[in-house]
Copies of this chain bind each other. A is one copy, B any other.
Amino acid sequence: MDAKTFDAKSLLDSLFENGILFESGIDGLYGRSGAFEDVIERFERLVTRLGAPDKATRIHFPPGMSRATLEKSGYMKSFPQLAGCVHSFMGGEREHAQLLGMMADGGDWTELQKATDVALTPAACYPLYPTVAARGPVPAQGLLFELSSYCFRHEPSKDPARMQLFRMREFVKIGTAEQVRSFRESWLKRGKAMIESLDLPCEVDLANDPFFGRGGKMMANNQRDQGLKFELLIPVTSIEKPTACLSFNYHQDHFGRTWGLKFADGELCHSACVGFGLERVALALFRHHGPDVEAWPAAVRDVLWGV
């Protein structure tokens, strides 16, 4: 973690050597030290503190959601390569004997499992929209939620900032186009100020999601042309390709239409979210301020541990 070298391998090696992350044998799947967890918790409190004036309603979803909900959300159209579904063994004793035999022979016993109703949550807000829709019409002033969830994306990588299982904290606004755009604007400002208060270099840029396939290129271009996604980027494993640590997304009425989110007068709701990639922010802090949290700059320690 010296000041000049920004690459994935040297950062990951240093995190292992300093006992901040622990190897699991799988790229993108790591144990976290107590120090790492403390940084995440302190950063989460900072986010909550900055969002407190808005009085968001807190809801927490587990790392898995209804597969039917994921299907209906359109995720398998846009990001089929990233989704994860949970499969389980549902056989009897004979099939179990077969499974153990295949395992002993080094065969692929997983084919004896069947898909359950559970899919892994790809982003903290996916389970929220049907939950809100079930409560009836959205009030005129809109609704604001604070979420946190473990998320899964199947993209094994040796870049520690690209984990397969990671935590995302989110604020989600559901309301009129104007309400949700103004919510996003306010977090573009607050998010940048927050990261700067942690003495991290950052820039905010237009961005697009990793839509699948050739059709996906067009969707990505559309998303950029309409300014639907911004990211706050911090150099973590590369100077040239900094890491998206916060993202600011305007969904237009995509989720409103999909889930029937409406005001009392029948008008469709728009939505926007700001997402905080908790592992990524923690990695940025360790990358820039070093492996020993006690030796981080006093001003940064004060922001995270001072209150």
Contact B134 A23 (CB under 8 A): yes
A240 at the interface (CB under 8 A from B): no
Which chain B positions have C-beta within 8 A of A110? 67, 85, 87, 115
Nearest residue, chain B, Cβ from A110: B115
Segment 107-130 of A: residues with Cβ below 8 Å from B: 108-111, 113, 115-118, 120, 127-128, 130
A residues 83-111 touching B (CB-CB < 8 Å) = 83-90, 92-93, 96, 99-100, 103, 108-111
0/1 string, A192-223, CB within 8 A of B gives 1: 00000000000000000000111000000000
A80: interface (CB < 8 Å): yes
Task: Please indicate the chain B residues that have their CB under 8 angstroms from the CB of A127 in the complex.
Answer: 24, 31
- A213 to B, closest residue via Cβ: B93
Return the contact of A96 from the options B90, B164, B212 (Cβ within 8 A).
Answer: B212
Chain B residue at minimum C-beta to C-beta distance from A212? B96
A25 within 8 A of B: yes
From B103, B120, B212, B213, A76 is in contact (CB under 8 Å) with B103
A58 interfacial contact with B, CB 8 Å: yes
State whether A34 touches B57 (Cβ < 8 A).
yes
User: How many protomers of this protein does the assembly include?
Assistant: 2
Given known contacts A24-B69, A65-B29, A117-B26, A86 and B85 CB-to-CB distance under 8 angstroms: yes
Chain B neighbourhood of A157, CB < 8 A: none
Assess the B118–A164 pair: CB atoms within 8 A: yes
A14 sits at the interface (CB 8 A): no
Judging by beta carbons under 8 Å apart, are B81 and A24 in contact?
no
Q: Does A42 contact B (CB under 8 A)?
A: no
* A230 touches B (CB below 8 Å): no
A150 an interface residue at 8 Å Cβ cutoff?
Answer: yes
Q: Tell me, in angstroms, the Cα distance from A82 to B118 when the chains sit together.
A: 13
Quick check: A83 and B89 within 8 Å, CB to CB? yes
Q: Find A116's partner among B33, B65, B154 (CB 8 Å cutoff).
A: B154
1/0 contact string of A51-92 vs chain B (CB within 8 Å): 000000111111111111101000011001111111111101
A304 nearest CB across to chain B (Å): 17
With A24-B127, A25-B69, A127-B31 already in contact, the answer to whether A88 and B83 are too (CB < 8 A) is yes
Q: Which residue of B lies closest to A80 (CB)?
A: B89
Q: Which residues of B contact A80 (CB under 8 A)?
A: 89, 96, 99
A36-B60, A76-B100 given; name 5 further pairs at CB < 8 Å: A34-B60, A63-B150, A64-B152, A84-B116, A87-B113
Residue contacts A-B, CB under 8 angstroms, 8 given: A23-B134, A24-B61, A24-B65, A76-B99, A76-B100, A84-B116, A85-B110, A111-B115
